Amino acid sequence: MKRPLRNVLAFLLGDAGSRLIGFLITVYLARVLNPSGFGILNIGLAVLGNLGLFANPGINVLEARNAAASSGAQPERTGGVLVTRLLLAAGICAGTWLIVRVLLASTTTGDVVLLFVCSLVPMALFLDWFFQGKEQMGPVSVSRLLNYAVYGLIVFVMVQGEADVLFAPLGFLLGNCAAALFLLVVFRRRFGQLALRWQPGLVKSVLSENLPVGAAMFLGQLVVNLPPIVIGAIVGTTEVGMFGAAMKVAFLFLLVDRMFNTLFLPVVTRYLATRADETGLLLSVTLKVVTLVMLPLAIAGIFLAPWLIATVYGAGYERGILLFQMLMAYVFLTVLNSVFVCTVLGGGHERQYVRIMAAGAAVLATALVVLTPLAGGAGAALAVVIGEATVVMLSVRETRTVVGLPGFGILLWPLIGAGVMAGATLALQPVGAGLTVGFLLYLVIVRAGGGVGREEFQYLRERFV
């Protein structure tokens, strides 16, 4: 079995499996807590997401690379990484406690935030980056599943209504403790004892090496972590619940993006290093296939939004329908942008990538502050789309400095087909066959415009499977 296929299987077992469990937990919490309580949870998770990037500045990426490049366990380096993360987590937890107690006093929102932030301590002990570097994905997959299994068990047993909201972050904390302990035990059995000692020089080295990538990751995650905080501050927790509900369903569609990145980044990196003259063809075929798949998927999501939101969350989340429909544009742009981002990173343009993410984050933050007061959650969803569109445009420009890109004429027929599909679906919606007929028309139009030939599918199959 080729390595890319093994990576996909590991992804499906660990990452996708844990995310599916997490999604089921989210659906349950959304139903039993109602939009306001669910909004409070989303604020807590957003704060944890932002602070977690400060507590783990790029370490998962670069230290996984370092583990892959080294022989053995390097107990000194591995222990130094964990000590660095523990120090950062402890400092962030202490600072957050002081700020929350001053700003939010003894409120439920403050308590939820503090409990979620406590998860930074067990998360600091995660060794998933080490096992990934050693290409031992089994423990990583098991730890992720264990994490969400413990979290889900506590939530399903203890959270029965809005008064039980604090058990959700408590379950999240205990799930992270179980996952961290499991990885530590596996490490000790396979590689021996860790060297957890205070080594100022090593801590300084770990931070200086990882901070640049950490900054890029922080900027990239603002699209997830910033909107709930802004919405909560400007509009209220109920609207945060609506936005969070829509975003969680959109994230299900983005599982395609995570699997694509798992496959495409190593392939395009290898091509840029060893077959630079063939990279243009690789990008051309990949862009065509990604567009052909994602356009009808996005349109289907828009038209199925009322059914999806009602089926997943039940009554009370109707305002989330429009938000989800708007976020489907973000889903399409994100997957399309992965082609360009992987090429930029594969070409070694990390600093340029940081600048791209900084520009996108600035546009996102500005749009959020301007549009959220005007249109609430819908304004925030539009800001997310605008921020991602900015990143796509800048990524395309940077990709052109790495390798020649095909003309965007290859996207013409898919875009025409998508327009026809949307129009036919809308026109025939009253008779219930609109989406099916629209998709068939899309296939006909794309095929008439050349589509993706058998040779191109064979080309991709040979490289990714």
Q: For residue 449, is pLDDT > 90?
A: no
Q: What is each CA distance from 313 to 32, 89, 167, 248, 310, in whole angstroms?
A: 10, 34, 20, 11, 6
pLDDT digits (tens, 9 = 90+) for 214-232: 666 666 666 677 888 888 8
Please give the pLDDT value at position 214. 62
pLDDT digits (tens, 9 = 90+) for 297-311: 999 999 999 999 998
Please give the pLDDT value at position 1. 47
User: Among the residues of 59-199, which ranges form H helices?
Assistant: 59-69, 75-103, 108-118, 120-124, 128-133, 137-158, 167-191
**C-beta of residue 237 within 8 angstroms of C-beta of residue 114:** no
Report, as an integer, the average pLDDT of 94-113: 83
pTM: 0.76
**C-beta of residue 165 within 8 angstroms of C-beta of residue 111:** no
Q: For residue 68, is pLDDT > 90?
A: no
Identity of the residue numbered 386: I
Q: For residue 289, is pLDDT > 90?
A: no
- Residue with the bigger pLDDT between 381 and 107: it is 381
Q: For residue 261, is pLDDT > 60?
A: yes
Ranked by mean pLDDT, the top range of 2-16, 95-109, 226-240, 251-265 is 226-240
Q: For residue 7, is pLDDT > 60?
A: no
Tell me how crowded residue 272 is: count the other CB atoms within 10 A of its CB.
18
Cβ neighbours of residue 282 closer than 8 Å, sequence gap 6 or more: 267, 268, 271, 463
Please give the pLDDT value at position 8. 56
Q: For residue 117, is pLDDT > 90?
A: yes
Report, as an integer, the average pLDDT of 8-23: 71
Q: Report the distance separating Cα 189 and Cα 191, nearest Å.
A: 6
Report, as an integer, the average pLDDT of 184-204: 77
> What is the pLDDT confidence band of residue 67, given thresholds at 50, 70 and 90?
low
- Residue with the bigger pLDDT between 204 and 276: it is 276
Please give the pLDDT value at position 392. 92
> What is the pLDDT confidence band of residue 179, given thresholds at 50, 70 and 90?
very high
Report, as an integer, the average pLDDT of 155-184: 93
> What is the pLDDT confidence band of residue 209, given thresholds at 50, 70 and 90?
low
Q: Which of 5-9, 266-270, 332-336 has the lowest mean pLDDT?
A: 5-9
Percentage of the chain surpassing pLDDT 70? Answer: 81
Q: How far apart are the first and last CA of the chain?
A: 9
**Domain definitions of the chain by residue range:** 1-198, 213-465
Please give the pLDDT value at position 72. 64
Report, as an integer, the average pLDDT of 25-37: 88
Of 408, 402, 410, which is closest to residue 446 (Cα–Cα)? 410
Please give the pLDDT value at position 28. 92
pLDDT digits (tens, 9 = 90+) for 120-165: 999 988 888 778 766 677 788 888 899 999 999 999 999 998 889 9
Report, as an integer, the average pLDDT of 55-73: 65
Tell me how crowded residue 316 is: count the other CB atoms within 10 A of its CB.
16
* Maximal C-alpha separation, the chain: 70
Q: For residue 173, is pLDDT > 90?
A: yes
Please give the pLDDT value at position 329. 94
Please give the pLDDT value at position 252. 83
pLDDT digits (tens, 9 = 90+) for 352-402: 888 888 888 889 989 999 999 999 989 999 999 999 999 999 999 998 888
Please give the pLDDT value at position 25. 92
**C-beta of residue 410 within 8 angstroms of C-beta of residue 273:** no
User: Among the residues of 235-274, which ranges form H helices?
Assistant: 237-253, 255-274
Report, as an integer, the average pLDDT of 57-69: 64
